[in-house]
Amino acid sequence: LPRGHRLPRGHRLPRGHRLANRARQASSRQRQPIRPVSNLARLPLRSRIRSPPPARRRLQHPSHLPRPDLPTPRSPIRSQNEVASVNETELVSGELPDEEDIDPCIGPTDRAPAEPIELIVTDADASQRLDAFLAKSLPKFSRVQLRKVIGAGQVRVNGQGTKVAHRLAAGDLVRISLPPLNSAGPNPENIALDVLFEDDAIIVVNKPPGMVVHPARGHWSGTLASALSYHFSQLSQLGGPTRPGIVHRLDRDTSGVMVVAKSDPVHASLAAQFENRTTEKEYLAITAGAPDRDRDFIEQPIGPHPHHREKMAIRAGHPLSREATTFYEVQERLAGFAVVKVLPKTGRTHQIRVHLAHLRCPVLCDKLYGGRSEITRYQLRPGHPAPAPAEGDDQVLLARQALHARRIRLQHPVSGHPIEFEAPVPSDMLTVMAALREIAVAANSRR
């Protein structure tokens, strides 16, 4: 058939003809009804795929106009050096507060830095860590501040960037760019202090719960540093202007004994004892749950929590984890709770709280690691009995973590004689222990 002609009505091509299949397909397409739009969902998936919209044309900045200087966005992912500089902000005592530290001496809002300082490593200082060498050579800056400077890349050894734990060799050239010191210290405040001991070198105080040791984010007033600045005219400045006399620290809700230095040489001597772990610190804790053993060592490395920025966690093999050792001894078991004596051998951040939570016996009312911030007498009863609480059972007995620094033993920084100080157990913890003893006696009498 010529192209474009059709067979007469009633005539068909013989089977097998080369135009038979083509004609049959064409006739079937003509007989196919038009599908309404409402039946679009019934079509096969291939029929429902829409073609992509045409790509938009990107507008180019006119070449005759000046291009604005836009700030370069900072990546939300911090480098390992930045993380190390944040998590290694640890004093030689190793005890950090649970709130975030804000160091006014080193920060992005400081004035223009001074001229770089160059130091030559002598034979006597060879094989020292970089942060220890800088702390010895620059006594006006604490090791915490110097570690932040190293983490910020402002310290170079022989022209190369380095780490905090870098070991120096004789003849090395250390070049450091330091920010200016902030002369503004904490505002002196007339806050009563429980002074346990005082002489010409040291002050020993019993820190109450709820008091922050030094100014930090959200806690610029009511600190221990402000109270010390008001009551004492002579305090060491080795820890920086915002931490006068502060050698070691306690968490905000941890009470207990603290040693304060009056001069820089005394501060350096006490700091060396904490760093060499020659001091003996004893804590008293009430735990929710009782450990299986009466006494034992907990040896688990502690590092930053993978998801919660304010918490620490047991993290073996993590590059920022550090070894931690804690000895504990159960002094009393009371109806699902326990009174535990704790002696930390190292001073990692939240060490006691993390290690006890690792035993599934967190510190009572430790909101961060135990999930409870307060407890009443009724809630102390095992299993929460079905009868309604009696009068006074709804009273809150404890509204902070039941952790108390009870005793500290060290050498006097001037005489060298061993000295020991003890802070009495606070009333809120004594009330909880008394209530637990009453509940335990009542439970035994029913048996």
- Is pLDDT above 70 for 10? no
> In the predicted model, what is the mean pLDDT of residues 5-10?
64
Task: Note the pLDDT of residue 52.
Answer: 56
151 contacts 111 by C-beta, under 8 angstroms: no
Q: Is residue 419 classed exposed, middle or buried when 0-12, 13-18 and 19+ CB atoms within 10 A define those classes?
A: middle
Q: Is the dihedral of CA 89, 94, 100, 104 positive or negative?
A: negative
From the list 292, 401, 407, the residue with the least C-alpha distance to 343 is: 407
> In the predicted model, what is the mean pLDDT of residues 388-416?
88
- Is pLDDT above 50 for 201? yes
User: What percentage of residues in the chain have a pLDDT greater than 90?
Assistant: 45
- Is pLDDT above 70 for 62? no
Task: Note the pLDDT of residue 303.
Answer: 92
Name the more confident of 23 and 432.
432
CA distance 107 to 95: 22
CA distance 150 to 139: 16
Active site residues: 251
> In the predicted model, what is the mean pLDDT of residues 267-296?
94
**Out of 77-91, 123-137, 163-177, least confident range:** 77-91
CA distance 303 to 321: 4
pLDDT band at 40 (very low <50, low <70, confident <90, very high): very low
From the list 232, 264, 230, the residue with the least C-alpha distance to 247 is: 264
Q: Is residue 260 classed exposed, middle or buried when 0-12, 13-18 and 19+ CB atoms within 10 A define those classes?
A: buried
Task: Note the pLDDT of residue 141.
Answer: 75
Name the more confident of 103 and 92.
103
Task: Note the pLDDT of residue 124.
Answer: 87
Task: Note the pLDDT of residue 362.
Answer: 96
CA distance 336 to 380: 9
**Out of 108-112, 192-196, 223-227, least confident range:** 108-112
Name the more confident of 94 and 391.
391
- Is pLDDT above 70 for 390? no
Task: Note the pLDDT of residue 30.
Answer: 55
From the list 342, 336, 344, 341, the residue with the least C-alpha distance to 439 is: 336
Task: Note the pLDDT of residue 19.
Answer: 59
Q: For residue 340, how far is the Cα from the chain centroid?
A: 25
Burial 103-132 (b: 16+ CB within 10 A, else e): bbbbeeeeeeeeeeeebebeeebeebebbb
Task: Note the pLDDT of residue 394.
Answer: 81
CA distance 203 to 225: 13
What pTM value is reported for the model? Answer: 0.63
CA distance 275 to 269: 10
- Is pLDDT above 90 for 337? yes
Task: Note the pLDDT of residue 324.
Answer: 95
Task: Note the pLDDT of residue 102.
Answer: 34
Name the more confident of 184 and 291.
291
Average pLDDT of the chain?
A: 79
> In the predicted model, what is the mean pLDDT of residues 53-63?
52
Task: Note the pLDDT of residue 353.
Answer: 96
- Residues 218-241: pLDDT tens digits? 677 889 999 999 999 899 988 888
> In the predicted model, what is the mean pLDDT of residues 17-21?
60
Here the contacts of 154-160 (C-beta below 8 Å, separation 24 or greater) are: 154/113, 154/178, 155/130, 157/130
CA distance 405 to 29: 90
CA distance 67 to 347: 53
pLDDT band at 3 (very low <50, low <70, confident <90, very high): low
> 173-176 and 255-261: which strand pairing?
unpaired
Grouping H, G, I as helix, E, B as strand and the rest as coil, residue 412 is coil
User: What percentage of residues in the chain have a pLDDT greater than 70?
Assistant: 70
Task: Note the pLDDT of residue 94.
Answer: 37
- Is pLDDT above 90 for 50? no
